[in-house]
């Protein structure tokens, strides 16, 4: 039995889903993958770009290099989704599917935080990281505030990483003593599921003189006064603001009727939505896990296994387990890793692998292996 499988979005989830289905079903996969962008960028690469460790062009993996048997890639922008009929409209036409998978990720709502768009110094988008790359050299003294404007947000350790890497950056320039660094998070600890990881980060902050302001998001910015206002009214004066914008599902998802509280609710084990033969994976969905690529990838594999079993016959997979590992830049050439489990027990748990140079190589392999899997050169 063949089916028309339509996948919206070519991030971690969409790329892994299409690749897994191609591997299992070959030329008969019947997958159409729709993506509006021209290139994929690993989230952690934005920090490399911002701090001048990598050129913007070097971190872009172009979709023109994505080619898999049984997968048709379309460079189109989704403008409407009808989950009842599984009909999708794009800027180039309409597509109908037997099975629809929404993997459009999460975008940014700059207007949700008054003043943020005017200040313009966020580092979570590719364009924002490139702008910060140009801004940072002009910061020579004063207070830098790394501020999160809402939760949930992608890659929860990333703001902590930004503060630690900013310390290294300013130290290398010989101006760290002239600067303050403040990190404001809406969480009580840097990585709530893992006390050991949070303790290690707090120790790293303390060693480097980084002030940690916990449990409060940045509610607004007042550019005229150079002040970040937290949700409880606390004011944080800044000379440089590095922002994490409030996240939201893409507008086309919000307008589709699929979303609740900003994202698509799914069965955490199967990734099924309330609509027949419609799945959602990754940051666009409410799964019960963080918004991070490693979780999106694992979810996509479960959906792929489910669809292969359904189309070819066979045992259904056990279901998504909510486990994943995130690498954390601790600065000074060291990387840590937190292994987390969000769905097995009564509450999320996490364990830390201590920061080391060895984990730097493991993180590099994580990226290179995905690059090879998704963007391997086409066969001659």
Percent helix, percent strand, percent coil in the chain, to nearest 5:
35, 30, 40
Number of Cβ within a 10 Å radius of residue 271: 26
φ/ψ of 317, rounded to 5, equals -65, 160
What pLDDT does residue 315 have?
A: 86
Side-chain-side CA neighbours of residue 143 (13 Å)? 13
Question: What ranges in the chain are assigned the alpha helix state H?
Answer: 12-25, 45-50, 116-119, 126-135, 158-172, 195-208, 251-254, 293-312, 358-375
pLDDT of residue 379 exceeding 50: no
CB burial class (10 A; 0-12, 13-18, 19+) of residue 109?
middle
Residue 185 has a pLDDT of 98
Q: Would strands 31-35 and 71-75 be described as parallel, antiparallel, or unpaired?
A: parallel
| The predicted structure's pLDDT at residue 345 | 87
**Which of the four pLDDT bands, split at 50, 70 and 90, describes residue 34?**
very high
pLDDT tens-digit readout, 59-105: 999 999 999 999 999 999 999 999 999 999 999 999 999 999 999 99
What whole-number percentage of the chain has pLDDT above 90?
Answer: 96
Q: How far is Cα 251 from Cα 166, in angstroms, rounded to an integer?
A: 33
Strands 107-108 and 247-248: antiparallel
Q: What is the pLDDT of residues 312-324, one digit of tens each?
A: 988 888 899 999 9
What local confidence, expressed as pLDDT, does residue 154 receive?
Answer: 96
Residue percentage of the chain with pLDDT more than 70: 99
């Amino acid at each position: 039995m063949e089916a028309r499988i339509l996948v919206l979005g070519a991030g971690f989830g969409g790329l892994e889903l299409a690749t897994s289905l191609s591997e299992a079903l070959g030329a008969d996969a019947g997958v159409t993958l729709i993506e509006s962008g021209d290139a994929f960028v690993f989230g952690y690469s934005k920090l490399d770009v911002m701090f001048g460790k990598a050129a913007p062009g070097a971190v872009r993996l172009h979709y023109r290099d994505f080619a898999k048997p049984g997968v048709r890639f379309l460079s189109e922008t989704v403008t409407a989704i009808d989950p009842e009929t599984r009909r999708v409209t794009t800027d180039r036409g309409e597509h109908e599917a037997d099975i629809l998978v929404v993997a459009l990720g999460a975008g940014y709502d700059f207007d949700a935080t008054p003043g943020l768009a005017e200040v313009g110094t966020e580092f979570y988008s590719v364009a924002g990281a490139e702008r910060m790359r140009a801004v940072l050299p002009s910061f020579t003294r004063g207070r830098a505030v790394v501020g999160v404007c809402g939760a949930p947000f992608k890659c929860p350790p990333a703001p902590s990483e930004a503060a630690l890497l900013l310390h290294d950056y300013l130290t290398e320039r010989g101006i760290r003593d002239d600067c303050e660094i403040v990190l404001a998070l809406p969480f009580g600890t840097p990585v709530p599921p893992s006390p050991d990881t949070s303790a290690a980060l707090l120790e790293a902050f303390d060693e480097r003189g980084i002030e940690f302001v916990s449990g409060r998001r940045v509610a607004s910015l007042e550019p005229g006064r150079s002040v970040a206002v937290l949700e409880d009214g606390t004011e944080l004066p800044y000379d440089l603001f590095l922002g994490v914008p409030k996240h939201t599902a893409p507008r086309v998802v919000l307008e589709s009727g699929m979303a609740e509280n900003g994202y698509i609710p799914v069965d955490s084990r199967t990734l099924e939505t309330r609509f027949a033969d419609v799945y959602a994976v990754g940051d666009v969905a409410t799964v019960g896990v963080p918004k991070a690529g490693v979780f999106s990838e694992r979810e996509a594999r479960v959906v792929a296994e489910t669809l292969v079993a359904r189309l070819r016959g066979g045992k259904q997979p056990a279901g998504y387990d909510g486990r994943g590992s995130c690498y954390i830049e601790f600065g000074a050439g060291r990387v840590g890793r937190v292994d987390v489990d969000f769905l097995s027990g009564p509450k999320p748990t996490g364990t830390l692998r201590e920061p080391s140079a060895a984990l730097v190589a493991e993180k590099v392999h994580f990226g290179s292996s995905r690059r090879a899997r998704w963007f391997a050169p086409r066969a001659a």
